[in-house]
Amino acid sequence: MDVKAAVATKAGKPLSIETVQLDSPQEGEVLVEIKATGVCHTDAYTLSGSDPEGLFPAILGHEGAGVVVEVGKGVTSVKPGDHVIPLYIPECRQCPYCLSMKTNLCQAIRSTQGKGLMPNGTSRFSLDGKPLYHYMGTSTFANYTVLPEISLAKIRQDAPLDRVCLIGCGITTGLGAVINTAKVEPGANVVVFGLGGIGLSVIQGAKLVGASKIIGVDLNPTKRTLAEQYGMTHFVNPKEIDGDLVPYLVELTDGGADYSFECIGNVNVMRQALECCHKGWGVSTIVGVAGAGEEISTRPFQLVTGRVWQGTAFGGARGRTDVPKIVDWYMEGKIDIDSIVTHTMGIDKINDAFDLMHEGKSIRSVVTF
Ligand code: NAD
Ligand code: AHE
Ligand code: ZN
């Protein structure tokens, strides 16, 4: 079938709006009509050429929501008409990773997904007879896409898809980093570096679990108002303080953060996030994705003296199990997604979403079809 898609033709070039061809779902696959998709910084990171797994030409996008149109042979967990959220980390419930119950990093299809292909090693998308790569197993920057069955979370029918699409990445990543990965407890002091869609969702999670001081750090002062709305108690702009940031934060947290979160993807900030943690017990969680060739460093003494450095992917969420629950939280008014959506546009204007992100003018843009 013909599909309207935003194609990443080359690193560093704007997306190109094209009519591309999409093949029918094969065994274990599902055709989904994408109704809405968020634009996450990770899409911009891959488009920039910094992603070692980045492939071109490809259809990016991994924060979508849509409706099942057709299922391939053997598919049993979803049917046409079901509302779904695509998962860039699937949940097969059979691989050693899923069965370990120690991680959400299902590996059932990770190798083909990383090569931009469906599990059988081929692509369903093509343009003028030449294959296009899938992206993160989801490719939501198209009005129809094909995904493996294990990469779909079935959600309730009454949830607005132009809001709950953000549960496909940003919301779940931030809430999950706090609840599943760091396991922040009531009364804890938390420092969040980077107040984009991810950092704000970390703040929302920290407020939800009853954290005490919630300190937000960002170079962009316009991020302050929304962060305060989500529960930030103190704002720090590194450009506006006297002296170094780390001792400033240690003093502000009476000895160091119980928990810190890096939500930028900057390896120097990752070091600051670790080193502002409390001696003996502070835990720093890396959420941001750093570019190819970048490495983190610190004095090992920081770890010898009890600080812990860890990371999280999709907030540790097991998608098919946890995503429907987070949709319920939104529908029950327990979490706010609406305020994070600062811009909406049609697919023809998707490059504006990238510009707004780079200019620091948006939190999340949602593209609707
Ligand atoms: P974003 O661009 O919306 O927000 C980043 C924020 O960081 C902005 O507000 C910016 O002003 C701020 N910032 C930039 N440099 C800074 C600095 N040196 N000091 C302080 N603040 C600074 O991005 P986002 O969509 O919220 O994503 C954040 C990061 O999380 C990205 O690296 C993204 O790839 C990553 N991410 C990771 C996961 C995961 O599963 N681990 C999931 C989603 C996104
Ligand atoms: N391809 C990159 C890795 C990018 C990365 O870390 N992705 C996160 C999700 S970011 C969503 O916005 C993730 O889930 N990682 C786990 C995985 O298996 O990819 C690289 O550096 O190679
Ligand atoms: Zn993302």
Assess whether 279 and 184 both reside in one domain.
Answer: yes
Indicate whether 36 belongs to any domain.
yes
Assess whether 233 and 96 both reside in one domain.
Answer: no
Indicate whether 329 belongs to any domain.
no
Assess whether 162 and 274 both reside in one domain.
Answer: no
Residue 148 to residues 9, 55, 127, 318: CA-CA distances in angstroms? 24, 19, 21, 16
Q: How many domains in the chain?
A: 2
Closest ligand relative to 287 C-alpha: 1
Atom of ligand 1 lying closest to residue 315 CA: 40
Radius of gyration of the chain (CA): 20
Q: Which residue, of 297, 312, 327, is where some domain finishes?
A: 312
Q: Whose CA is nearest to atom 25 of ligand 1?
A: 41
Contacts 24+ apart (CB under 8 A), 276-282: 276/191, 276/245, 276/246, 276/249, 276/250, 277/307, 277/308, 278/189, 278/253, 278/307, 279/255, 279/305, 279/306, 279/307, 280/305, 280/306, 281/306, 281/307, 282/256, 282/257, 282/258, 282/306, 282/307, 282/308
Assess whether 9 and 154 both reside in one domain.
Answer: yes
Q: What is the pLDDT, as a whole number, of residue 346?
A: 98
CATH number (domain holding residue 133): 3.90.180.10
Give the ranges where 74-217 is alpha helix by DSSP (H): 96-100, 110-114, 161-164, 170-176, 197-208
Q: What is the pLDDT, as a whole number, of residue 13?
A: 98
| CA–CA dist 118, 146 (Å, integer) | 9
Distance (angstroms) between ligand 1 centre and the Cα of 80 equals 36
Q: What is the pLDDT, as a whole number, of residue 16?
A: 98
Indicate whether 330 belongs to any domain.
no
Distance (angstroms) between ligand 2 centre and the Cα of 291 equals 11
Catalytic pick from 169, 263, 276, 277? 169
Inter-residue contact 239 to 219 (CB < 8 Å): yes
Distance (angstroms) between ligand 2 centre and the Cα of 232 equals 27
Residue 116 to residues 128, 277, 357, 368: CA-CA distances in angstroms? 18, 38, 25, 24
Q: What is the pLDDT, as a whole number, of residue 1?
A: 98
Closest ligand relative to 53 C-alpha: 2
Assess whether 194 and 270 both reside in one domain.
Answer: yes
Q: What is the pLDDT, as a whole number, of residue 350?
A: 98
Assess whether 203 and 295 both reside in one domain.
Answer: yes
For 245, the token pair is 């940031």
Assess whether 237 and 292 both reside in one domain.
Answer: yes
CATH number (domain holding residue 296): 3.40.50.720
Indicate whether 128 belongs to any domain.
yes
Q: What is the pLDDT, as a whole number, of residue 241?
A: 97
Examine the residue annotation and report whether 276 is marked as an active-site residue of this protein.
no
Examine the residue annotation and report whether 98 is marked as an active-site residue of this protein.
yes
Assess whether 85 and 57 both reside in one domain.
Answer: yes
Sheet holding 308-311, edge to edge: 234-236, 214-217, 190-193, 259-262, 283-286, 308-311
Which domain, by its residues, includes 232? 174-312
Inter-residue contact 123 to 134 (CB < 8 Å): yes
Q: What is the pLDDT, as a whole number, of residue 113?
A: 98
Q: What is the pLDDT, as a whole number, of residue 312?
A: 98
Per-residue model confidence as pLDDT tens for the chain (369 residues): 999 999 999 999 999 999 999 999 999 999 999 999 999 999 999 999 999 999 999 999 999 999 999 999 999 999 999 999 999 999 999 999 999 999 999 999 999 999 999 999 999 999 999 999 999 999 999 999 999 999 999 999 999 999 999 999 999 999 999 999 999 999 999 999 999 999 999 999 999 999 999 999 999 999 999 999 999 999 999 999 999 999 999 999 999 999 999 999 999 999 999 999 999 999 999 999 999 999 999 999 999 999 999 999 999 999 999 999 999 999 999 999 999 999 999 999 999 999 999 999 999 999 999
Q: What is the pLDDT, as a whole number, of residue 339?
A: 98
Nearest to 312 by CA among 288, 276, 283, 337: 288
Assess whether 135 and 157 both reside in one domain.
Answer: yes
Catalytic pick from 18, 70, 92, 298? 92
Inter-residue contact 117 to 126 (CB < 8 Å): no
Assess whether 15 and 129 both reside in one domain.
Answer: yes
Q: What is the pLDDT, as a whole number, of residue 316?
A: 98
